[in-house]
Amino acid sequence: MTARFVEVADRVLVLREPLLAVNVTLVLGDGAALLVDTLSTAGQAAELATAVRAVTGDPLTLVNTHHHFDHCFGNATLAGDPPRPIWAHELAAAAIRDEPDRLRREAYAELHDGHPELAAELAETALLAPTHTVHSEATLDVGGRRVVLRHPGRGHTDADLVVQIPDADLLVAGDLVEQAGPPAFEDSFPLQWPDALAELLRWTTPATVVVPGHGEPVDAEFVRAQHGQLVELAWLIRAGHTASAPPERVAADAPFPARHALAAARRGFAELDGTA
């Protein structure tokens, strides 16, 4: 991994991992720092630690925006020795603590065709569960800076956290917002995702910087446009389910690429059937 942190707001820096375009956010306070997300493997996390130490030697608090491999599998390397606090939504923490084998299997299945070397490393990665959990909201003091962790509702997963740095007018959205590609729907809640983004938009101003899970930082207008696409998708899913249309028919009309839209339609049908 050849990447470095770039400042995107006052004492808030972002590093983009080049293989999957995953964003890691570093918030600097006075004598303390916050790191949001920890990448995919021990190797990536070790390089990330080096990049962090090139910026600050202050003690770290960690946050996982959710429990997918590319956002939390580096926990053990960055917070295991010496131990550091890790925050996450309570459901994400439970998944990492109680189902590490499932998370590794799913990560391997997702990557083994396109990135076999990374998949093999993921299969051997030790997972470290978060030590502190959030139900709906928590406020942290990071070296005199207020940082708010908020769960806006189900969306990309059932356990998404948004990290707000009010004095920098910046939000770290995790995979609730995507810039490098379309949203991922494999274990999402597409009928509820628009409401989660509407809640996120309540915390923005016209000048807010939003750090997506993958890709370039965006603004509130970008998030509003993605919200509109998700609203359209949710309407198509509900209409298709009512008409007993197959998920493939819904996907053909959706505002996202076919593979992503088909996953969304299947998940949306499962929501409506009460099986998601």
Q: Is residue 88 part of a domain?
A: yes
- Residue 45: which residues within 8 A CB-CB, separation 6 or more? 38, 39, 73, 74, 75, 76, 77, 78
pLDDT at 3 over 90: no
Indicate whether 1 pLDDT > 70. no
Report which DSSP code applies to 168. G
- Which of 153 and 81 is assigned the larger pLDDT? 153
pLDDT bin (cut points 50, 70, 90) of residue 157 is very high
Query: What residue numbers bound the domain in which 267 lies?
Result: 6-273
Helices 220-242 and 258-273 meet at what angle, rounded to 10?
60
Greatest C-alpha distance within the chain: 59
Query: For the chain, what is the domain count?
Result: 1
pLDDT band per the 50, 70, 90 thresholds, residue 135: very high
In a domain, 61, yes or no: yes
Helices then strands, each counted (H, E), the chain: 10, 12
CATH number for the domain spanning 222: value is 3.60.15.10
pLDDT band at 256, cuts 50/70/90?
Answer: very high
pLDDT (tens digit, 9 = 90+) per residue, 49-104? Answer: 999 999 999 999 999 999 999 999 999 999 998 999 999 999 999 999 999 999 99
3-state helix, strand, coil in the chain (%, to 5): 40, 20, 40
Three-state SS for 72?
Answer: helix
Q: What is the pLDDT of residue 29?
A: 98
- 128 domain-assigned: yes
Report the predicted TM-score, pTM, of the whole model to 2 decimal places.
0.97
The rounded percent of the chain whose pLDDT value lies above 70 is: 100
The verdict on residue 1 lying in a domain is no
- Rounded Cα distance between 228 and 222, Å, is 10
Average pLDDT over residues 159-182: 98
Q: Is residue 181 part of a domain?
A: yes
265 lies in a domain? yes
Crossing angle for the helix pair 116-123 and 100-111, nearest 10 degrees?
170
